[in-house]
């Protein structure tokens, strides 16, 4: 077998990940509204996949590139297989919705009705709503020829209307009605019990004559387009980075169409007209057996009640080893703190930065920001700190894909407050998660640092599994200062004491750690690797893992998404196993463990094992040396490999097999449930201990001493 075929194609591997998410939508043991949520996630995922990955393949083909990738396929071959697999997936999505979720929701009291099922009362209600709220907003645009087709927005719902032609009627007339972002996709109807919805396109369809008086409407079809969002931006020659990024965001609205989705009932005449007008290839047209744009049905998830159709809430817990009444500086000074989100509450991280903003002894705050929430309390704290005269530096990565507009807005706002804002580094995305607080104390200047595997986003911290590590370790504090001085100035990269950074050494360190395990195994010593990440793509790292496997090292990998490594192949990777967990929380943490002869080296990181992370981004890999913190991380890793409820095993051919018995009734070990229950138990045990501790009230003067 050639070296190239030792690797799975990354695009096809990603599609298999989305299929695993779709499997959750089809799983009858998952609560019904959660199944709808998983289905909407697969639709949203596929939208982004087409914008970025399919768009990238289209560009390579148009540029005449025929070079094969690491799996041995040309861009054309990849695109053909991607489109074929995508069609299979879309067919499965709509079968899941129309034959499964939709009728089951109706039985549970959440109905989606079509025009032919409207009662007289419902039709009267919708007519009034149409005339008052839709007709004044949505306007048709006549399309006299394909050359005059309007610029329709990316991923927005539209109606294509074919009208009977003038004179002899042989040449039809066309119009487009953009339904835009200001109209809700789902319209709720009055109902005595339960919830009844219809779609906005069906409301317009029912009263289409109001738009075209005196004209005969021959047909109406909903459609949606996907525009390419993958294009090169050379920031090396940018003279005004902010302005160029704003231009890039605007440019996306006009990029070429790479996918057309249209209702299957649309005639060939109408579909051909859209194809020519949008200049999209026939192979890129998806005729859908259901409503266009499944992602919009997320609106159903917000209905009140129906708690039996949702997961039972798992509330984040106050970390058992953190005194919620004490300052975070006092808590971190006692010992290193490691939090596993979302089981551990994210509040201590927010509190740490908010306290830093308000503490008069804090001299400076330096932080990287990649994706934040719309009303981020962390960004607000940085703003407040700057207004209070503290030295605040924020590296706001403007190139965080699809979050560019929000980050541009935050950057401008922070600059007005006096924050030193760095827009990123030329030629590199800054994806590392680090916050450095410098504080004056009686013992001198102390550096407190937060390292994370996830974004500084308190909302996604409730939905993603991530790690927070807070410390005032002198070496890590020194490294943090060096890191910020390097990325904010013109200084040459210096050697860190403990940290490892990309693109200056992290990849080499990872390969060194893997090779060290291989060497120990060859010498007859115990060796082992456990790693958890989102994606494994880098061919050099994979080759090192293959070599370690051939040396007898047991390699256990938990890779949520893309995995290009082929496990279980004789004389190549028979000692490598790969699992993927898809459950109620998105697995997002990166944890790396190397046995190292019993020393047990443990790291957390912002980086996946992909070329883009290890070569094209600024990332950090942080050693965790505290015994209790290491034990907690090891427990997380080991629980991932025990999962028999929500885990799938990767096979050598790139397919996945579910480890759980589909006939079992949830009796298998479930990693996320175990970690949540363990966190709750620790919080409960700590609460009992606190009940037996007598804490006297002291005078304010004594408290200060």
Distance CA 180, CA 185 (A): 9
Cβ-Cβ contacts under 8 Å for 552 (sequence gap 6 or more): 521, 522, 527, 575
Residue 697 annotated as catalytic: no
- Which ranges of 163-240 does DSSP label H, i.e. alpha helix? 200-206
Cβ-Cβ contacts under 8 Å for 179 (sequence gap 6 or more): 138, 156, 157, 158, 159, 185, 200, 201, 204
Distance CA 420, CA 291 (A): 48
Distance CA 160, CA 279 (A): 16
Catalytic-role residue among 431, 450, 500, 588: 431
* Structure tokens belonging to residue 556: 């256990």
Q: What is the dihedral of CA 640, 642, 646, 648, to 10 degrees?
A: 90
SS3 content of the chain, % helix, strand, coil (to 5): 40, 20, 35
Contact 466, 590 (CB under 8 A): no
| Whole-number Cα distances in Å, 530 to 450, 571, 591, 600 | 24, 20, 8, 11
How far, in whole angstroms, is CA 194 from its chain's centroid?
Answer: 33
Distance CA 321, CA 491 (A): 39
Question: Strand 186-189 vs strand 195-199: parallel, antiparallel, or unpaired?
Answer: antiparallel
Q: What is the dihedral of CA 411, 417, 419, 422, to 10 degrees?
A: 20
Helix (H, G, I), strand (E, B) or coil at 266: coil
- Residue in this structure with the two tokens 């399919």, named with its chain if needed: 54
Q: What is the dihedral of CA 43, 49, 51, 56, to 10 degrees?
A: -160
Cis geometry, peptide bond prior to residue 594 (ω within 30 degrees of 0): no
Distance CA 158, CA 152 (A): 8
Distance CA 70, CA 72 (A): 5
Torsions phi, psi of 578, nearest 5? -130, 125
Contact 458, 580 (CB under 8 A): no
Terminal Cα-to-Cα distance of the chain (whole angstroms): 71
Q: What burial letters (b/e) apply to 19-28, b meaning 16+ CB within 10 Å?
A: bbbbbbbbbe
- Which ranges of 463-505 does DSSP label H, i.e. alpha helix? 474-488
| Whole-number Cα distances in Å, 199 to 38, 184, 268, 296 | 20, 9, 24, 10
Residue (of 407, 427, 419, 484) closest to 242 by Cα position = 407
Helix (H, G, I), strand (E, B) or coil at 129: helix
Concatenating the DSSP letter of every residue in 638-686 gives HHHHH--SSEEEE-TTS-EEESS-TTS-S-S--HHHHHHHHHHHHHHHH
Length of the chain: 705
Residue (of 639, 689, 644) closest to 666 by Cα position = 644
Residue (of 164, 161, 268, 180) closest to 222 by Cα position = 161
Catalytic residues: 431
């Amino acid at each position: 077998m050639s070296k190239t075929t030792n690797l799975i194609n990354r695009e096809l591997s990603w599609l298999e990940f989305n299929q695993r998410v779709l499997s959750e939508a089809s799983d009858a043991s998952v609560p019904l509204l959660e199944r709808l949520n998983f289905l909407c996630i697969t639709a949203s995922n596929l939208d982004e996949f087409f914008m970025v990955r399919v768009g990238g393949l289209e560009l390579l083909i148009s540029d005449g590139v025929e070079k094969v990738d690491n799996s041995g396929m040309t861009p054309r071959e990849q695109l053909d297989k991607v489109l074929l697999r995508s069609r299979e997936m879309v067919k499965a999505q709509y079968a899941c919705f129309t034959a499964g979720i939709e009728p089951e929701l109706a039985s549970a009291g959440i109905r989606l009705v079509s025009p032919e099922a409207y009662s007289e009362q419902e039709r009267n209600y919708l007519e009034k709503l149409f005339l008052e709220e839709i007709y004044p907003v949505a306007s048709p645009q006549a399309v006299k020829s394909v050359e005059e087709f309007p610029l329709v927005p990316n991923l927005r719902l539209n109606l294509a209307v074919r009208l009977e032609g003038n004179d002899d009627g042989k040449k039809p007339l066309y119009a487009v009605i953009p339904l835009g972002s200001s109209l809700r996709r789902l319209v709720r109807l009055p109902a005595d019990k339960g919830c009844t919805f219809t779609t906005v396109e069906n409301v317009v369809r029912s009263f289409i004559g109001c738009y075209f008086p005196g004209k005969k409407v021959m047909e109406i079809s909903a459609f949606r387009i996907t525009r390419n969002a993958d294009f090169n931006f050379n920031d090396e020659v940018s003279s005004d980075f902010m302005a160029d990024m704003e231009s890039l965001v605007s440019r996306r609205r006009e990029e070429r169409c790479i996918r057309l989705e249209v209702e299957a009932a649309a005639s060939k005449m109408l579909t051909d007209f859209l194809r020519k007008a949008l200049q999209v290839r026939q192979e890129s047209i998806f005729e859908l057996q259901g409503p266009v744009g499944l992602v919009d049905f997320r609106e159903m998830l917000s209905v009140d009640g129906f708690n039996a159709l949702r997961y039972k809430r798992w509330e984040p817990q106050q970390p058992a080893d953190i005194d919620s009444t004490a300052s975070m500086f006092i808590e971190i000074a006692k010992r290193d703190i490691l939090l596993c989100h979302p089981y551990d509450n994210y509040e201590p991280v927010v509190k740490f930065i908010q306290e830093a903003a308000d503490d008069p002894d804090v001299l400076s705050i330096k932080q990287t920001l990649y994706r934040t929430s719309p009303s981020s309390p962390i960004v607000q704290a940085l703003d407040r700190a700057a207004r209070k005269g503290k030295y605040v530096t924020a590296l706001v990565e403007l190139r965080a894909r699809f979050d560019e507009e929000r980050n541009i807005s935050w950057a401008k706002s922070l600059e007005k407050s006096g924050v030193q804002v760095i827009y990123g580094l030329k030629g590199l995305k800054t994806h590392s998660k680090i916050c450095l607080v410098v504080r004056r104390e009686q013992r001198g200047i102390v550096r407190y640092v937060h390292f994370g595997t996830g974004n500084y986003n308190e909302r996604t911290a409730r939905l993603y599994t991530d790690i927070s590590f807070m410390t005032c370790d002198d070496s890590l504090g020194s490294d943090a200062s060096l890191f910020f001085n390097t990325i904010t100035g013109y200084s040459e990269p210096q050697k860190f004491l403990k940290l490892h950074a990309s693109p200056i050494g992290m990849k080499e360190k990872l390969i060194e750690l893997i090779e060290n395990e291989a060497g120990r195994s060859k010498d007859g010593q115990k060796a082992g690797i456990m790693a958890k990440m989102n994606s494994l793509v880098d061919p050099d790292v994979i080759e090192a893992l293959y070599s370690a496997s051939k040396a007898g090292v047991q390699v256990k990998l938990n890779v949520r998404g893309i995995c290009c490594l082929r496990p279980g192949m004789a004389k190549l990777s028979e000692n490598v196993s790969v699992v993927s967990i898809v459950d109620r929380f998105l697995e997002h943490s990166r944890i790396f463990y190397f046995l190292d002869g019993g020393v047990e080296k443990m790291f957390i990181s912002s980086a996946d094992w992909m070329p883009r992370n290890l070569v094209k981004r600024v990332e950090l890999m942080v050693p965790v040396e505290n015994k209790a913190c290491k034990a907690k991380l090891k427990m997380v890793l080991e629980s991932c490999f025990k999962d028999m409820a929500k885990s799938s095993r990767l096979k050598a051919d790139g397919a996945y097999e579910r480890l759980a018995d589909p006939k079992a009734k949830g009796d298998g070990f479930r990693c996320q449930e175990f970690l949540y229950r363990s966190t709750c138990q620790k919080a409960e045990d700590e609460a009992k201990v606190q009940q037996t501790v007598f804490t006297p009230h002291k005078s304010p003067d004594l408290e200060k001493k």
